[in-house]
Every structure is written in structure tokens, then in C-alpha cells.
Chain A
Amino acid sequence: MSATITAPAYRIIPIIPALKPGAMEDSKPFVANDKIQEALGFPGQLVEDWHDRAIARMGELLGKYRSLKVYMDACVHCGACSDKCHYFIGTQDPKNMPVARQDLLRSVYRRYFTLPGKFFPKLVGARDLTREVLDEWYTYFNQCSECRRCSVFCPYGIDTAEVTMAAREILDCVGYGQKYSNEIIGKVHRIGNNLGLPGPALLDTLEGLEEDVKEGTGIDVRFPLDVKGAEVLLITPSADFFAEPHIDSLIGYAKVFHATGTSWTLSSMASEAGNFGMFIGNYEQLRKIAMRIREAALELGVKRIIVGECGHAWRVAYSFWNTLTGVGDGADANDRFAMMLQKQLDHRYKQPMHICEFTWDMIEQGALSFDKEANDKHIITFHDSCNVARGSRMGNFAGGQFEIPRNIIKAVANNFVEMPSSTTREQTFCCGGGGGLLTDDLLDLRVKGALPRMEVLQQVVDEHGVNFMACICAICKAQFTKVMPIYGFDRRMIGGVHQLVSNAIRLDNK
């Protein structure tokens, strides 16, 4: 398959592409089989009464989520979002315009839930829910990475990610699930992490890492697992345990903890920060996966929870954990569920905290020192990951999620260059592999979706000789490692912020 996949040409001037209707109508991920589906409590395959069940589920979601209800009603088809999606830019398929993607669902909403749609469907673009429409949902709601770029530009903040989540939830409920995401969720429940790495193997890996670091630095940097009474519980994406370049960031976190004398631990029960429950829009799964962190924190008796470099995981942790599991602050005194954990945590610190917040705090306090020259071989740029940029925050002020990682890079390296501002910070482009699309059966889509980022990367490579793109997301790292060679870049150009920290940190002065 991958042999036939080539990168689309860069646009000479970044003009809005002409429409190519149907360009991506054949791009579908593999459908989940009955074993995968049933493990999550979804029907094994498309149920006979899928039509009625789908409409019923849509009705329930409209009653449970104000976002969906308002977004279905409020869109004026102004088209402000229409050229903002990386998948539209890369594929030119008009159904990848955010508003057109929403309209796949909205047309059915209008038909079944609004008066004009019931009486004058043609007039308002309302459609019956047919098998073709259902297939179209499957196709195009699996071409959205839920990156929220469209919602930045919409005058009502309409977030296509919310619509995609609702559509995927409906599809799951009628037995039409996506293999990649649902299989991974099954693994988290069965084994404890997305990659299916069992506890003993994890222990082995960590011991191996200790040896590697000892060899490289001569210093005993520990990678503790399941240590009761540790101060910090680190929750990190499981890719950090063995994927390249992820593992270099894990080493970076360990060195920061070592250098600051912080007692910390990983948990074999919660050996995964990722939460694909968000991608499939299922609240119960989202919550169930997040509950592992609560349980691990209670069991290990930790005072702080810190999250490693992972974009969507940080969104879930920052924005949703307090709601889902009570990891956070500010629960009502009579909220017993949340109080159990909140009494245990140390509220002098933000709960949960991002590893970048931790490292930056330590840098500001002068607890860390660096040999910046160790990074001189790199000319670095920073790719803002969508979920961090538009679905979370760091620090005490709005926009800290942009400043803090950049501050760290500048503190540990000498050469830093920005990409054009229309592609960074809140306007950043998704890597093309987020939202549950990081699977080889969607590689063509992933390559095309990376186009806008690759274009501006090429620009800073040409103008400034950039040779390293730092980011703080496990999915970005995996996606770019795969697609950058297709665009003619070295796969080692992508890496984590803590990889740079790891290169430059001084371990001996403590």
C-alpha cells in the first residue's frame, strides 16, 4: 500500500485549493470486527435496526451535549471555516471542509429534528438517513483529526471535533466502529496501555533504560515503577517506553526528576496517558480510561500527578480529568467522590501538571542547569500540537501552552526559529495523524493532511537551515516519523522538547 503513496506537491503560493469532489470517497479505515466491538460493549456488527438506533442515539446526544445542539442549529454557512482544515487543503475533497463535514450530520439532524427539514427537506438541505449516508459518515468522520482548527475561525466557535465525536459515537452504537481506535481502547482495558505492553515487559524496559543512561552519562538515573509513597506519579503515553524518538523524551523527564531530587514513579496500572475514549466521543469510555489514573494515584498515595509529552492526553488530563475523575482542585466540600483524591493531592501545585510546566518551574527556580552547546548541532523549530494549543493550557495565563515549551527550548538550546505565525500557536496545523487516524490503512490521508505543516517546514529549512522540529505529542512524533521521509525529510528531524532537555541537562552538580 505505502508504495503507491506519494506526497502532494507544495503549493507555490498557499492559495485555497480548487474543489475535487469525491477525491477521498474511497478512503476508509478498517471496520472493527465483532470481538473488538463487543469488548467495549458496542454491537459486533451493523445492527438490523441501525436507522432507528442511530436517530435515537442522535436525539440522546442532542439532549446531553449543548455543544452539539447549538452547533447543529447555529451554523450560517458563512464558509469562514471552509479553507481551514489541513485535510481539505491536502485532499481538496469538498467534504473535508469543516462545514461540509458537519453538514453530513446536520442534514440528517434537520430532517429528523427540525420543522423545515421535516416539511421542506430540499429547501434546507435535509436528507434521510440512508445506508449511503451512513457510509459517508464512516468515510468522512474518519477524515477529521478533531484538531479544532476550524473552531478558532468560526464566528460561533462551532467545533467540528464535537460533531465528529458525536458521529463516531452514533456509528459505534449501531455496530459500525473503527478498528484502530476501538482495538486500542480494548488493549488499555485488558493490558493497561495502548501498545499492549504488559507490566513485566515494562519493568524490563525501564531497567534497560537505567543501564543505557548509566552507560551514556555514568550516572544512576532511576526509572521507578509502582513505588508507593512517591511524591510524583508520572502518566505518560506508552509510546515513550520504546518508540523512537519518544523514548528520548522519557529519558529527559527522568533526568529532570533526578536533577531536581524529586521522588517519582510510573504506574503499571496506569501506564498510558493516551485516552482514545475522547476520539470516539464516548463519555463512558473516556471516563473509564481516565479512572485508571485516579485509582493508581489513590493506591500509590502520591501528592502530585504529572503528565508526559502527549497532545490529546494533555487535553484530557487538563480539561477533563477533574470532571471525569476528580484529579484536580476545587471540588465542592460535599463532593465525596472528588474529595477522596483531592484531599490527598498537594494543592500548592497545579493538579495535574504538564511535564513542561514542571521543568519550566524548575528552570525558573534555578534548580536546573544546562550545557546549551550540547544542542548546537540543532537548528530548532517548534510544532504546536493541536490538542495542547486549542484544547488546554499551561501555566497561569491564557497562552502559557505556547510560551512554556518555547521557553524551555530557548533555555536548553541556542538556535530557535519560528515557523510562519499563520501555522503556529492557536492557528497551528495538525500533524495529520491525530484523532484516531494514526493507522496505516489511512496512510494516504495522513500524508495529504501533513501538507500544510510540511510546506512551512520546508520554508524554514530553506531559509534558516532548520534541522530539528520539536513537539510535545506522541502522535505527532509517530506521524511525522512516518510521513516526513515521504516529503523528503530525514525522519530524525522530529523529536520531543525533553529530548533537547536531555541532551543539555547537567546531572553532576547535585
Chain B
Amino acid sequence: MVGTLFAILLYLATLLFVVGVLYRIRVYSRTPAPLKIPTTPAPINTGGVVLRMTREVLFFESLFKANLWTWGLGWLFHASLALVLLRHLRYFTEPVWSWVALIQPFGVYAGIAMLLGLAGLWVRRLFVERIRYISTPSDHLMLVLLMVIAASGLLMKFLAHTDVIAVKGFILGLMYFNWQPLPAHFGLYVHLFLVAVLLLIFPISKLLHAPGVFFSPSRNQADNPREKRHISAWAKQLDTSQLGPNDMGNAK
């Protein structure tokens, strides 16, 4: 019974997550950027832009310049999150890919590091006057949500073990439409429920920073406005309306 409810919830959450994020990406990619506004000094060609973006996404370069504490805690959290997510691939693959097997032990430490990073970020949000001022309730809740997800996961690893083989069976069952029972385990219920919540809010919250960063014109544009005319469709129409009948003749 509970297994069925979870199956429905996870299907729904995954569907809304995928559709929601794809929809957002579509909106971002279709919204024109009419003017060249890279924050300079900026790379002067596409290769350079790819490097800049890579540095931003992998190392949070700008944040590093801004504030070492936020950078350290934020990077610890995200890098750990990435490792933890990769570690979770073992629940989705059979046989488990060898590199996924290899990172399993690191994944466990990453779980702890993630919790520490999140806790640090929350302390900052609670006690640094400026950050508290700009925080909305959802900012706090988001951190709590992630911390509870991480904590419930670690709990199952270290204290109240669950039957991970059965969990894997349940997940593979969802993937191949060959449904299997979910082990009854309170920690697991909490963990899975909150992951579903996370998936659901992802496309309608500030978590959009993950796809958003790639579409930020101040970071993804090359600095070459003098070399190449950059013009959006709606701005182009103004040009055409400007060309009088004589101009057309001249320019031909």
C-alpha cells in the first residue's frame, strides 16, 4: 500500500520535474537577449566563454572573489551533493557500473560533508545580519529540507539500516514498470518523500539557479560587439521600419 503511494508520488514528481525544467529551459533559450551585456573583462570568443562557464559551474569563480566563507561552505555542499548523487546511481543500474562502485566509500563521506556544508550555510543565514535580512522563509526551509534528506540518508547508513537490496529492487521496478514492494522503514519513507518534494519544487523555486546559470547573458556572452553585429528579432524590426524606400535602393 505505502509502496504504491510512493510509486505514484515518485512518478509524478519525476514527471513534473522533467517537464518543468525542460519548460524553463525552453523559455530561457527562447527569450531574446537584445543587447551585449557580458560583465567585462569577458572572454572574446566562444571557446573562452565555455571556459568561463566551466569555471563558474565547477568552482564558483565569482563567488570565490566575493566571499570565502560562502564559497567554502557552498562549494562543499554542492561538490558533496554531486558525489552523493553519483553514488546513488548504484540504485539505478544493474550491474553497477564499475566507477560507481569505486566511489561508494567517498560517497558516504560526501554525505557528511554535505550536511556540514548545509549546516554552515544555515548558520550564516541565521546569524549574519545582512543574510538574515534578505532571507525569506522558503530560503530557510530549503536548507532544512536538504538537511533532513541528507540526515535521513545517513541515518539509514549508520544507525537504522534498511534493506538496500529491496530498495534497489523497488527503484529498478519503477524504472522497468515491474513494480516491487518497498521495505517498510520510517527513515526511508521520510527520505523518499522529501526527495519527491525536492523534485516538485525544483522547477518553481530558486533551484532554477542550476539551469539559469547557463543562460545568464552577463556570463555566457562573448565580448565581441564591435566585430559582429548582435541583433535580436524584435530589435531587427526597428531597423526595417527605419529603411525608407530610398535607403533600400541605395543599399542594394
Contact = CB atoms under 8 A, between A and B. Distances in A.
Contact of A64 (B67, B135, B206, B234): B234
Interface in B186-224: 201, 204-206, 208-209, 212-213, 215-219, 223
B225 A79 contact: no
B6 interface: no
Contacts of B27: 69
A420 to B, nearest CB: 15
A390 B40 contact: yes
A30 interface: no
Interface string A62-76: 111111011101111
A155 B56 contact: yes
A158 B225 contact: no
A76 B232 CA distance: 29
Given A74-B208, A94-B130, A329-B226, A340 B250 contact: yes
B226 A155 contact: no
B206 A97 contact: no
- Of residues B63, B70, B212, which shows the largest number of chain A Cβ atoms within 10 Å of its Cβ? B212
Nearest to A69: B31
B206 A125 contact: no
A54 B238 CA distance: 24
Contacts of B141: 123
Contacts of A335: 229, 231, 239
A70 B215 contact: yes
Given A74-B208, A336-B247, A157 B216 contact: yes
A99 B41 contact: no
A81 to B, nearest CB: 7
A340 B206 contact: no
A88 to B, nearest CB: 9
A324 B34 CA distance: 10
A155 B60 contact: yes
B65 A350 contact: no
Interface residues of B, number: 72
A159 B39 contact: yes
B134 A340 contact: no
Interface string B114-129: 0000000000100011
A81 B217 contact: no
B14 interface: no
B228 A330 contact: yes
A16 interface: yes
B252 A351 contact: no
Nearest to B62: A155
Contacts of B35: 319-320, 323
Interface residues of A, number: 85
Given A65-B33, A66-B33, A153-B63, A336 B206 contact: no
A175 to B, nearest CB: 24
Nearest to B207: A76
Nearest to B121: A78
B88 interface: no
- Of residues A114, A330, A340, A397, which shows the largest number of chain B Cβ atoms within 10 Å of its Cβ? A330
B157 interface: no
Q: Is the interface of B mostly helix, strand, loop or mixed?
A: helix
A379 interface: no
Contact of B66 (A65, A74, A81): A81
Contacts of B129: 18-19
A116 interface: yes
Nearest to A98: B134
B136 A65 contact: no
A65 B33 CA distance: 5
Interface in A300-349: 318-320, 322-324, 326, 328-332, 335-340
A66 B134 CA distance: 24
Contacts of A287: 235, 238
B19 interface: no
B226 A352 contact: yes
A402 B40 CA distance: 11
B1 interface: no
A33 B204 CA distance: 41
Given A122-B137, A337-B243, A389 B212 contact: no
A227 B131 CA distance: 58
Contacts of B229: 322-323, 326, 328-332, 335, 338
Interface string A131-161: 0000000000000000010011111111100
A503 B139 CA distance: 57
Given A73-B208, A331-B229, A393 B40 contact: yes
Interface in B43-89: 43-44, 48, 56, 60, 62-63, 65-67, 70, 74
B235 to A, nearest CB: 7
A152 B62 contact: yes
- Of residues A18, A73, A351, A390, which shows the largest number of chain B Cβ atoms within 10 Å of its Cβ? A73
B66 A84 contact: yes
B225 A318 contact: yes
A116 B34 CA distance: 29
Contact of A155 (B48, B63, B201, B231): B63
A322 B34 CA distance: 12
A322 to B, nearest CB: 5
A398 B43 contact: yes
A133 B227 CA distance: 42
Contacts of B135: 77
Contacts of B133: 19, 94, 97, 100
Contacts of B227: 328-330
A279 B41 CA distance: 21
B220 to A, nearest CB: 8
A183 interface: no
A16 B63 contact: no
B22 to A, nearest CB: 15
B248 to A, nearest CB: 7
B7 to A, nearest CB: 25
A159 B36 CA distance: 13
A323 B36 contact: yes
A116 B219 contact: no
A391 interface: yes
A389 to B, nearest CB: 7
B37 interface: yes
B28 interface: yes
Contacts of B219: 156-157
A82 B133 CA distance: 10
Given A79-B131, A116-B138, A157-B39, 5 more contacts: A77-B206, A79-B70, A80-B63, A153-B62, A323-B235
8 contacts: A66-B31, A67-B216, A82-B130, A94-B134, A283-B235, A323-B225, A323-B230, A329-B226
6 smallest A-B Cβ distances: which pairs? A74-B212, A125-B136, A153-B66, A157-B218, A80-B66, A337-B239
